[in-house]
Amino acid sequence: MSDNKREDEVIEKILSTLPKPTDNLLKRIIWVRDRVTKLGKDSKVQTGGSGSYNAISHDKVTAAIRPKMVQAGIASWLSCVEHTDADTGAATQKGRKIFQHRAVFEITFANVENMSDQIVVRQPAYADDFGDKGPGKAASYAMKYALLKLFMIETGEEDEERIDDDTTRASVIADNDEMLADLYAVAEECFGADAPEMLLAMANRRFYVDNYGLIPQNRYKEALKSLRVKAASLTAPITGE
């Protein structure tokens, strides 16, 4: 058998597994569901006491599902249909108020072979920020959960049990406006405009939570120290022999 013939057979076999042009959107969605089934079960977050939940990032969800959506011929886009901003009562040390952006999004999924064949998912989302990043954070949250729920991805999250867990969990920084504002103020003092990114990195990598507001209050001083140590390491002079 020639190499060209063998290559043609491999390509034909791959193409035979893809959705047909005549397949409707529901069949395409089922095709993706069959190929992306589990994500994020290795990311466990302790909320205090015996409570815990599994978290997964927007980027991880997108990286896993987008290639299969492309293969299945499914397009998607997001639109904000409602939004407002609420004062959280917290502020940075410089007096900049921290607002909560509250929005409702519509995420449309369409069959690329027939754009009138669509499904629209409505998803509310909230995000706290002192500047202009709240809408972007909320949009990422909305898209992440629309993808997870539409394609029925297992993540290990036990949403139905969150209320029970929350009644026994330790208090987190988001429960204390003064702690929340002071932690942000220290980050802003240490890193300036990069404060949001540094807080997110610290929350993810050191405390294994989605944002700094979910850091347990009993680790508040540790979080402050972590920020200052990081800032010092970035400004320390490089010495050589």
Tokens of 88: 């959280």
Mean pLDDT per 10-residue run, the chain (241 residues)? 62 72 94 88 44 71 94 96 86 79 96 96 91 89 94 73 45 85 90 90 84 88 90 68 43
Residue extents of the structural domains in the chain: 19-165, 170-228
Supply the pLDDT for residue 166: 40
Supply the pLDDT for residue 62: 93
Closest C-alpha to 47, from 199, 157, 202: 157
**Cβ–Cβ < 8 Å for 47, 53:** yes
The pair phi, psi for residue 181, each rounded to 5°, is: -70, -40
Q: What is the distance between the terminal CA atoms of the chain, rounded to a whole angstrom?
A: 63
What class is the 19-165 domain?
Answer: alpha beta
Burial of 174 (C-beta count, 10 Å sphere; 0-12/13-18/19+): middle
pTM, full prediction:
0.58
Burial of 2 (C-beta count, 10 Å sphere; 0-12/13-18/19+): exposed
What is the tens place of the pLDDT at every residue in 132-161?
888 999 999 999 999 999 999 987 765 544
Residue 214 CB neighbours (<10 A): 17
Supply the pLDDT for residue 47: 41
Q: Which residues are paired to 185 by β-bridges?
A: none
Supply the pLDDT for residue 42: 44
Supply the pLDDT for residue 33: 93
